[in-house]
Amino acid sequence: MTDYVRRALVASATPPAQAAAAQLADLGDWVEPEEADVVIALGGDGFMLQTLHAMLERRKPAVPVFGMNLGTVGFLMNEWRHHGLEDRLSRAKPFKVTPLSMTATGIDGRTLTLPAINEVSLLRETRQTAKLEVTVNDRVVLAELACDGILVATPAGSTAYNLSAQGPILPLGSGMVALTPISPFRPRRWRGAILPDKARIGIRVLDPGKRPVSAVADQREIRDVAQVDICMDRARELTLLFDPEHALDDRITMEQFAA
C-alpha cells in the first residue's frame, strides 16, 4: 500500500472532464502537479500524453499518474468513478513506461530533441512519395525505402498508430520497439521489424528538397527534416497507475485477440 499524501488534479478542457473535476474538487486539498506525490488526470489518451509530456518538461517524470477516462478511447486510462479514489490509489498497480528520444535535424541544419511516449513517425509532406534510408546501430539496413512514412513505437504505443499501420503489438516489458512502414511501395514486401529497445535507429531523408518529410514525436511536429535519430531515454522513465483488474499489461495482451 502506498500513501500518496500530496495529490494534484488535472483535467482536459472538455465539459465531461471539467464536470468530473468539479465532483472531485472537495475530496481533499489538491496541490500543484510540481508539488504532488501523485497526479490524477481526467480526460482521454490525448490528454494523458499532454500530462506526461508536461511532467517531462518539468523534469518530474518519477511522479506517478492515475488517469480516469473521460475521453474517447482511454487506453492509457482507468474507468471514471467519482467514489472510492482513496482505495483505488492504495491498490493501484504501477507500470513503468520508457519514452523515446527523437533528435531531428532540419534541412536548414537546425536540431531539436523531443521525447515520445507512444511513437516517433515520419510522414511525407506532399504528394511525392518519401524516400528514406534506414540505419540500425549505424548499419544501413534499408538503402532506400519508398513509402508514405515510417514510425518507431514503444510497447505502450504499439496499440495506437503502430497497430493502425499493421505493426505488431508489443507486450510491456518485452524490451523491444516496433519499426513499422506506412504504406510502403518499395521494398513492396517489407512490413517492418521488431528491434531491441537498446537499438539506435537513424532515418535519413533522401532528396528532402523534392520529397519533404516531417517528423512527429507523439503530438509535436517538426517539418522539413533531413535526418532523425531515435533511441530510448531511460533517464526519464514514467510511471502510470492502474486498477489491478484493468492493468495496462493485460490490456495490451488482450488487444491481440480483439476482433
Residue type, 98: T
Instruction: Give me 99's grid cell.
Output: 519514452
| CA–CA separation, 111 and 3 (whole Å) | 42
| CA–CA separation, 85 and 150 (whole Å) | 40
| CA–CA separation, 203 and 217 (whole Å) | 14
43 φψ region: left (φ > 0), alpha (ψ -120 to 50), beta (else): left
| CA–CA separation, 21 and 85 (whole Å) | 13
Instruction: Give me 210's grid cell.
Output: 523534392
Bridge partners of 202, per DSSP, are: 135, 229
Q: Binding site for NAD(+): which residues?
A: 45-46, 118-119, 148, 156, 159-164
* Cβ–Cβ under 8 Å, residues 168 and 194: yes
Q: Binding site: which residues?
A: 45-46, 118-119, 148, 156, 159-164
* Cβ–Cβ under 8 Å, residues 1 and 90: yes
Residue type, 236: R
> Is 26 a residue of the active site?
no
| CA–CA separation, 116 and 120 (whole Å) | 6
Neighbours of 73 (CB within 10 A): 12
Residue type, 43: G
The catalytic residue among 37, 45, 87, 207 is 45
Give the DSSP letter of residue 35. G
Active-site residue set: 45
